[in-house]
Amino acid sequence: MAKYLLSIDQGTTSSRAILFTEAGQLHASAQQEFAQHFPQDGWVEHNPDDIWQSVLKTCQRVLKESDIAATDVAAIGITNQRETTIVWDKTTGKPIYNAIVWQDRRTAEYCSALADNDKKLVSDKTGLLVDAYFSASKIAWLLANVDGARAKAEQGQLLFGTVDSYLIWQLTGGREHRTDATNASRTLLFNIHQQYWDDELLTLFNIPKAMLPEVMDCSAEFGKCKPEFFGRDIPILAVAGDQQAALIGQACFDKGMAKCTYGTGAFLMLNTGEQALSSQHKLLTTIAYRLNGQVSYAIEGSIFMAGATIQWLRDGLKLINDASESEALAKKAGLDHGVFLVPAFTGLGAPYWDADARGAILGLTRDSGINEIISAALQSVVYQSKDLQNAMELDGLKPQVLRVDGGMVANNWLLTLLADVLNISVQRPVVVETTALGVAYLAGLQAGIFTSTEQIAQLWQCQHKFVGKMPSQERQALYNKWLAAVAKVQA
């Protein structure tokens, strides 16, 4: 019996292929970065062929370097950067344009020009806000701006996919045009309550239904890889968007369980079970996962600048050579310096959704130095998390535990402060590659390696638990100062 599960983690800046054992242990991995294209201010594109080639190469490399035969791989799971939009010709397989990346703002005006009642209709049906971030307006842009695209789409000649769909299409040699419910739920076209592509939304964005992929459960038969790629027709048995995959990799299967991934940005997601709760505080409602036709929903809040703020300290201000140096320097400065950094470099995400706010460092004195700025940068990640926690609490949701992952969780100073300010138990798992692990679990479920989500939950292991110890007065005083700083930068 095949012993390994192969996860494809197709991210915004790189693609990774990770082999997991049947016990959910990381066995080997390979990674490849690819080019980012910024053709105009606010535009972000990827070449779909770069994405595909980096995925194919990393999969082939991880198998070769770890000397594992394709016959030993039970299944492939795919997790991916969400919302990024690709449209291709179904006969030639050629994309009609580059992939328009989730960060791309070219359709911001189009989105804000929609009528208020249309915006409400979209939110009610999709759980999202009308924003350039999601796929629908990107598809509309492609159909309106690429020569001949509208006519071809009307003739049924063009296919749309998020990155998962495009990879399935490529891996199966153009046989399957499919996606999963979590990726579909980020397009602004999928009715998350009824589980179908919604005709009213398709009409609103003027998108022909024939372009859309078939929507499957997260664990399902998505198709088989063309044998020539890996030497065997390995089945693709799982797909989930990156944040949803991390929720699963953190085994947050019960209502009320929450995870936050601290990478370039940060994404806090709370499982709300069978109920699609609609936030009154600008958090998004999304599909957490769909298994055996049964949907679990989640509330999600996103922070645009988390690790990216530390990158800016490194590459922009050149205060550090490596992100890992931030921990010791912030520790030296502590919390009593009164410096606050609001990282609104590209506006503020949830719960503010203020696209026009810009960043600032406040409270500088002659005593302020590099360490204080670094401390303030790390603190900003914590206070933004607190903003999301507050919004969730105002919506009646109170997670008791926060499971964390992503590159930043190597920083103990950050996680200690997070536990203090959120006054919650912060848990870091043994396997921090939770995104890839999540789809390995899902593929294992479909392959019969795991029998239930309960069994998967048993495999999750805590590496370290951070418990909040800060007196509530101090916590509140720090957070009030943060709120005052945010108020100063809001447009």
State in angstroms the smallest separation of the CB of 244 from ligand ADP: 15
Continuous segment of H or E residues that includes residue 68: none
Binding window for ligand ADP (CB under 6 A); candidates: 90-98, 287-295, 384-392, 407-415:
407-415
Continuous segment of H or E residues that includes residue 152: helix 149-154
Per-position DSSP letters for 293-360, written without gaps between them: TEEEEEEEEEES-SHHHHHIIIIIS---SSGGGHHHHHHHH-STT--EEE--BTBB-TTT-BTT---E
Neighbouring residues of 465: CB distance < 8 A, sequence distance ≥ 6: 425, 426, 427, 428
C-alpha angle 133-267-50 in degrees, rounded to nearest 5: 55
> Which residue from 310, 348, 443, 485 is in contact with ligand ADP, where contact means CB under 6 A?
310
**382 is a site residue for ligand ADP (CB under 6 A):** no
Residues facing residue 146 across a β-bridge:
none
> Which residue from 183, 243, 279, 411 is in contact with ligand ADP, where contact means CB under 6 A?
411
**326 is a site residue for ligand ADP (CB under 6 A):** yes
User: Which 3 state secondary structure label does DSSP give 449?
Assistant: coil
> Which residue from 22, 89, 221, 327 is in contact with ligand ADP, where contact means CB under 6 A?
327
**264 is a site residue for ligand ADP (CB under 6 A):** yes
> Which residue from 17, 168, 288, 308 is in contact with ligand ADP, where contact means CB under 6 A?
308
> Which residue from 21, 40, 203, 311 is in contact with ligand ADP, where contact means CB under 6 A?
311
> Which residue from 213, 343, 406, 444 is in contact with ligand ADP, where contact means CB under 6 A?
406
State in angstroms the smallest separation of the CB of 142 from ligand ADP: 26
Of residues 400, 73, 433, the one with CA closest to residue 248: 433
Residue 162 or 326: the one with the smaller Cβ distance to ligand ADP is 326
Closest chain position to ligand ADP (CB): 407
Residue 410 or 459: the one with the smaller Cβ distance to ligand ADP is 410
> Which residue from 28, 202, 323, 360 is in contact with ligand ADP, where contact means CB under 6 A?
323
Integer Cα distance of 467 and 463 in angstroms: 13
Return the C-alpha torsion angle 103, 108, 110, 115, nearest 10.
120
**408 is a site residue for ligand ADP (CB under 6 A):** yes
User: Phi and psi for 129 in degrees, rounded to 5?
Assistant: -105, 150
> Which residue from 362, 401, 410, 459 is in contact with ligand ADP, where contact means CB under 6 A?
410
**476 is a site residue for ligand ADP (CB under 6 A):** no
Q: What is the DSSP letter of 442?
A: H
Residue 13 or 455: the one with the smaller Cβ distance to ligand ADP is 13
> Which residue from 235, 307, 349, 399 is in contact with ligand ADP, where contact means CB under 6 A?
307
How many residues line the site for ligand ADP (CB under 6 A)? 17
**13 is a site residue for ligand ADP (CB under 6 A):** yes
Which of the residues 103 through 162 are near ligand ADP (CB under 6 A)?
A: none
User: Which 3 state secondary structure label does DSSP give 276?
Assistant: coil
Which of the residues 210 through 249 are near ligand ADP (CB under 6 A)?
A: none
Distant-in-sequence contacts of 61-66, Cβ < 8 A, 24+ apart: 61/17, 61/30, 62/6, 62/17, 62/18, 62/19, 62/28, 62/29, 62/30, 63/6, 63/19, 63/230, 65/28, 65/30, 66/19, 66/27, 66/28
Q: How far is CA 409 from the centre of its chain?
A: 16
Per-position DSSP letters for 375-401, written without gaps between them: HHHHHHHHHHHHHHHHHHHHTT---SE
State in angstroms the smallest separation of the CB of 264 from ligand ADP: 3
Q: CB of 226 within 8 A of CB of 154?
A: no
> Which residue from 6, 10, 11, 192 is in contact with ligand ADP, where contact means CB under 6 A?
11
Residue 237 or 246: the one with the smaller Cβ distance to ligand ADP is 246
Binding window for ligand ADP (CB under 6 A); candidates: 102-110, 210-218, 219-227, 405-413:
405-413
* Residue 183 token pair: 């990726």
State in angstroms the smallest separation of the CB of 413 from ligand ADP: 8
State in angstroms the smallest separation of the CB of 14 from ligand ADP: 7
| Greatest alpha-carbon span in the chain | 67
Residue 28 or 202: the one with the smaller Cβ distance to ligand ADP is 28
Q: List residues binding ligand ADP (CB under 6 A).
A: 11, 13, 263-264, 307-308, 310-311, 323-324, 326-327, 406-408, 410-411
